[in-house]
Copies of this chain bind each other. A is one copy, B any other.
Amino acid sequence: MSVSTGPDPVPALLERLATVCVERGLRVATAESCTGGLIGHLITGIPGASTWYLGGVVAYANEVKAGLLGVPGSLFVEHGAVSEPVARAMAEGVRSALGVDLGVSVTGIAGPGGATPAKPVGLTWVAVAGRAGTEARRSVGPGGRDENKRAAAIAALELLIQVAEAA
């Protein structure tokens, strides 16, 4: 199901993000689970992104979240991979691994499988780790796999911009 929600917000978000990163000299890295690389793909669609975007980790499997991002295995057991603590640990892990100012993460259930009674398809946690600490936000996507991935990427970009502009 495709939900019409007006103009695509992504181009304006990317422009705002590029502006604040260039103006403030902020370097950014991504840690993506359910979006699978979409955020990095969107960011690298901007010519010149290489001056502030270093790259990141596509941590689709939990072993990658643990191995490359240092997410403690106990968090998966206690909270599940789609949870605020895991999103926070992913953002902090990629910030540390790549030595950047801001690490942004996303973990969610894109669907159609993977839902539980407590966690619906579309549930997403995004987090941004910076010098002043880590912010996290919960959202629920519109339902289809593609739409959920895109909604999760937008939520991540929005939180990243908010933290960058407040930095």
Contacts and interface: CB of A to CB of B under 8 A. Distances in A.
**Main secondary structure on chain A at its contact with chain B?**
mixed
Contact of A36 (B36, B37, B68): B37
A40 B36 contact: yes
B45 A34 contact: no
Interface residues of A, number: 41
A110 interface: yes
Given A36-B37, A37-B40, A55-B59, 18 more contacts: A35-B44, A36-B41, A36-B44, A36-B49, A36-B55, A37-B37, A37-B58, A40-B40, A41-B149, A44-B110, A45-B149, A47-B145, A49-B60, A54-B63, A55-B57, A55-B60, A55-B64, A67-B98
